Structure 1
Amino acid sequence: MKYAKGFISLVIAIIFLTACATRSEPVQPSAPDSNIQSDTNQIDVAPVEASSVPNEPDLEDKPSKQAASGKVNEPANNEPLKPEYRMNSVYRFEPLGSDIPANKVLLTFDDGPKDAVMLNSMLATLDKHHAKAIFFVNGYRVKANPELLKKLHEQGQTIGNHSWDHIDLKKQDKAEVVKQIGDVQDIVKELTGKAPRFFRPPFGSGNDAVRQTAKDHGMLYMTWSNGSLDWDLDKEEKNKPDKVIQNVLEQLHPGANILMHELPWTAEALDELLSKLEEKGYGFIDPQTIELEHADPLNAE
């Protein structure tokens, strides 16, 4: 009987221990579950942090989009720069103060806009040398290549008026002169929001009527003081870029008003030419720093 009771007690003890062990097993997975929940919480946090990362390129993209549209420069362009140079009666530029360097030249390019590849090359070279220039445009070419005119404006270059048809204005009547000049003012303003402030007559040929019409539009009338003669190189077979450089350097003087054109050999020569000018201690006049008050120089042609 004692053995029976002992046996029964042993069986009960075994059953009790087994039951306890069975109850404890479900408790163990709760630890991994809590770890999973903890990892999930970390994963939940990560996307929040990661979601802010794509915004960073957006912030970087905004200036580039503005630069592409030319809007980055608008605040500066809307505030006229202080005049530093004045054009004299022979179309050279003189500093307005003793603290303004005299050894600077004005770069100008006539008869465009023509060709995207050529123009892009010239603009890239100007950017490389931190140089600004006046691009004197013809109306009929602007009409054919409006996107190139916009590119000039967006790149921060200055657009000048070179008449609509590139005809000798000195031989035209007053009505035709007004139309040739006024139509260019209109199309440039329509495309860029700004009318030209500088005028150069085709062939450098003008008279009182031409000067007065330019003045009526608030433009500074000019020809040039340093001709690259790039327009005379059509028949040359060799070394056209070298001759452009040579012609400019031979006529170099402080305040030079350098005449060039949108031509392939001029585009090819431009980088070396600007480098040589810099080596000689010359800088480049920003057209926006030219005084416009004396817009009718007393210089008979």
Structure 2
Amino acid sequence: MKKLGKVATLLLLSAVMLTACSGNNNGPAAPAGASQPAVQSASPAPDTQAAASAPPASPAATAAAAAGDAVVTATPAAQGEASSAAPSTEATVSTAPDTAEVPVLYRMNKNYDIVPIAEGTNKKVVLLTFDDGPKDAAMINSLFDTLDKHQAKAIFFVNGYRVKENPDLLKLIHTRGGIIGNHSWDHIVLKDKSYEEVKQQIEDVQAIVKEVTGETVAFFRPPHGTGGDVGKKVSAENKLLYMTWSVGSLDWEMKESESGKTEKLIANVTDQLHSGSNILMHELPWTVEALDQLLTTLEGKGYSFVDPRSIEIPAP
């Protein structure tokens, strides 16, 4: 019996060994219900490979990221895939007002020219100004398209009654980065008016611009260039820089049917041109049409365009 038991045991062990040898060669099977270990690949996942092969971010992108702006980078192949998969949002451009801090570099002299405060500051500059608006969205947008092309800023001297008629046009000027100036409420000659009337003409514009844009106007130009002592007094009380101009484009004298208006406007400006020129223009169709060529001409003569925010506003 003992011998039979030993034989049976040997037979049983042989059967177990044969079964094990005929099984999977990759190792013992995991017990039922046990979790399978994660299989690690020697090569990185596709997303990791793309990140590893992508070029390093440019200094501009790095700076934008540090400033909190969203920066999106993609390889040309990835860009192509994105364009075929979804509509592009590349055309979305912010038109928020420019709130950048601008150093005060210039002041206005008695001739209403713009001159440097300190030695070494570029003096070959001109100040661009447009009066009697806001009138028309298409003209305003065209003016700003040209100003943006030349990286130029300008003052838009507005009348209060026009702002009241269409406040959205003032918002448009503000949104596109224009510096707003006060041109009185009714565009009347102020020099012979009473203090109270001049005060209302000026301060009502201050109020409506503040209401519409949230900004406080810093520049005042009297209609027809005649504000008189009372206009200067009320301007100072409202912390406004009083100015007329030193170069007139004479665009206001031109007629719709007149030919060659662009050439005449440019000649009117360049004939009087000098460092610090304070150039008077208006929101008029022919001025809009001539502006690009005028600014190109000024640049060709070595002039740049002063940012009105860099002009000193003296304390009253």
State the Cα distance separating 1:144 from its structure 2 match. Answer: 2.4
Asked if 2 retains the 8 angstrom alpha-carbon contact of 1:87 and 1:291, the reply is no
Higher relative helix content = 1
Q: Gapped runs of 5+ residues in structure 1?
A: 1-15, 31-36, 39-43, 50-55, 296-301
> Is it true that 1:211 corresponds to 2:232 in the alignment?
yes
What residue number does 2:108 align with? 86
State the Cα distance separating 1:107 from its structure 2 match. Answer: 0.6
Looking at structure 1, the residues matched to 176 and 260 of structure 2 have their Cα atoms a distance apart, in angstroms, of 30
Q: Match for 2:99 among 65, 74, 79?
A: 74
User: Aligned pair in 2 of structure 1 residues 180, 45: CA closer, same or farther (>3 Å)?
Assistant: same
What residue number does 1:202 align with? 223
Asked if 1 retains the 8 angstrom alpha-carbon contact of 2:106 and 2:311, the reply is yes
> Is it true that 1:103 corresponds to 2:124 in the alignment?
yes
Asked if 2 retains the 8 angstrom alpha-carbon contact of 1:220 and 1:294, the reply is no
Cα deviation, 1:60-83, whole Å, max 9, x if unaligned, reads: 599x9893333xx33536xxx223
State the Cα distance separating 1:93 from its structure 2 match. Answer: 1.9
User: Aligned pair in 2 of structure 1 residues 173, 266: CA closer, same or farther (>3 Å)?
Assistant: same
Looking at structure 2, the residues matched to 138 and 235 of structure 1 have their Cα atoms a distance apart, in angstroms, of 23
State the Cα distance separating 1:175 from its structure 2 match. Answer: 1.6
Looking at structure 2, the residues matched to 233 and 171 of structure 1 have their Cα atoms a distance apart, in angstroms, of 28
- SS of the residue 2:157 aligns to: strand
1:138-157 aligned at under 5 Å gives the runs: 138-157=159-178
TM-score (norm 1): 0.74
Looking at structure 2, the residues matched to 227 and 101 of structure 1 have their Cα atoms a distance apart, in angstroms, of 22
Q: Gapped runs of 5+ residues in structure 2?
A: 1-14, 30-37, 40-44, 51-64, 73-88
Looking at structure 1, the residues matched to 226 and 171 of structure 2 have their Cα atoms a distance apart, in angstroms, of 28
Tell me which amino acid in the other structure corresponds to 2:136: D
- SS of the residue 2:276 aligns to: coil
Looking at structure 1, the residues matched to 315 and 108 of structure 2 have their Cα atoms a distance apart, in angstroms, of 8
> Is it true that 1:122 corresponds to 2:143 in the alignment?
yes
State the Cα distance separating 1:167 from its structure 2 match. Answer: 1.2
Asked if 1 retains the 8 angstrom alpha-carbon contact of 2:133 and 2:156, the reply is yes
User: Aligned pair in 2 of structure 1 residues 250, 237: CA closer, same or farther (>3 Å)?
Assistant: same
TM-score (norm 2): 0.71
User: Aligned pair in 2 of structure 1 residues 65, 175: CA closer, same or farther (>3 Å)?
Assistant: farther
Q: Match for 2:213 among 185, 192, 199?
A: 192
Q: Name the count of aligned residue pairs.
A: 271
Looking at structure 1, the residues matched to 248 and 226 of structure 2 have their Cα atoms a distance apart, in angstroms, of 15
State the Cα distance separating 1:239 from its structure 2 match. Answer: 1.3
Q: Identity, % of aligned pairs?
A: 50
Looking at structure 2, the residues matched to 198 and 235 of structure 1 have their Cα atoms a distance apart, in angstroms, of 30
State the Cα distance separating 1:267 from its structure 2 match. Answer: 0.6
1:1-301 aligned at under 5 Å gives the runs: 59-60=70-71, 67-70=94-97, 73-76=98-101, 81-88=103-110, 90-234=111-255, 236-293=257-314
